[in-house]
Amino acid sequence: MIPLRDTAKSESFPIINWMLILLNAFVFIIELRLGSDKTGAFFLKYGLVPAQTNLTGTNTYAFVTNMFLHGGWGHIISNMWMLYIFGDNVEDRMGSFRYLIFYLLCGIIASLTHFALYRDSIIPAMGASGAISGVMAAYMFLFPRSLILSFVPVFFLPLFLPVPAVIYIGLWFIGQFLSGTLHLMSNSTASGIAFWAHIGGFLGGLILYKMFVKKKRRKYKRQLLS
């Protein structure tokens, strides 16, 4: 299912969400300008290569920088589209600064999860999807009844279905978990998709989101003394 839009409305302009989208696009433009001969070295330097990284100083910055790299047009477009759909509402409920911290923490947790499970991998992991997974977890619990208008190709016929967010994101997570589990069972060092980064980011978002949501102001009625 390809999400097209959601029905939850934001009450404020999602400035941080747009800044994240633009920053990812800017870095992607830098990748394109490097050319194919230098892009590989760029990915190895700023992507997360578990076998060349440790927690005591060697390439530690890659736990953050990797979430702003993308391997191609399809990769960045799909990630930024998901961030566009789900991020604005989460930022609205958290506030811009809290949302930024939440996003970065989910991305770091996603990176650490991938790092822990694929310590010997020499393949650079990269992409915003781990952080976005955390945003999706927050969205699922903050807006469970929001409808996600989804495109479903059925025998070459376009089918558009409004799916409740709790079902859409829940099915997505189940798919990631099953794929990640099967991949671990295959004893392969890494795959083209960092499923466990998605899982880690999602679980991180699930654990953290309540800490970042703005508390609703209670409205007290003035009592008149008689």
- Residue 49 pLDDT greater than 60, yes or no: yes
> 217 in a domain, yes or no?
no
> 222 in a domain, yes or no?
no
pLDDT tier for residue 35 given thresholds of 50, 70 and 90: confident
> 28 in a domain, yes or no?
yes
Instruction: Tell me what the mean pLDDT of segment 34-41 comes to.
Output: 89
Tokens, residue 163: 């799916």
The pLDDT assigned to 218 comes to: 43
The pLDDT assigned to 1 comes to: 81
> 218 in a domain, yes or no?
no
> 139 in a domain, yes or no?
yes
Tokens, residue 91: 């930022």
Q: Please name the amino acid found at residue 105.
A: L
> 15 in a domain, yes or no?
yes
The phi-psi region of residue 35 (left if phi > 0; otherwise alpha if psi is between -120 and 50; otherwise beta) is: left
Sequence-distant (6+) residues with CB within 8 A of 203 are 109, 137
| Domain count across the chain | 1
Closest CA to 67 of 130, 159, 143, 2: 130
Residue 83 belongs to a domain with what CATH number? 1.20.1540.10
**Dist. CA 24–CA 32, nearest whole Å:** 12
Q: For residue 117, what are the domain limits?
A: 2-212
Which phi and psi angles does 72 have, rounded to 5°?
170, 175
CA torsion 22→207→86→2, rounded to 10°? Answer: 110
Sequence-distant (6+) residues with CB within 8 A of 61 are 46
**Where do the H-state alpha helices sit in the chain?**
15-34, 36-46, 62-65, 73-94, 96-117, 129-142, 165-185, 195-212
Residue 130 near residue 194, CB atoms below 8 Å: yes
Tokens, residue 182: 């099967």
Q: pTM for this one?
A: 0.90
> 223 in a domain, yes or no?
no
List, for residues 177-200, the tens digit of each pLDDT value: 999 999 888 766 656 788 999 999
**Dist. CA 70–CA 76, nearest whole Å:** 6
Q: Which helix (H) or strand (E) holds 148?
A: strand 147-154
> 124 in a domain, yes or no?
yes
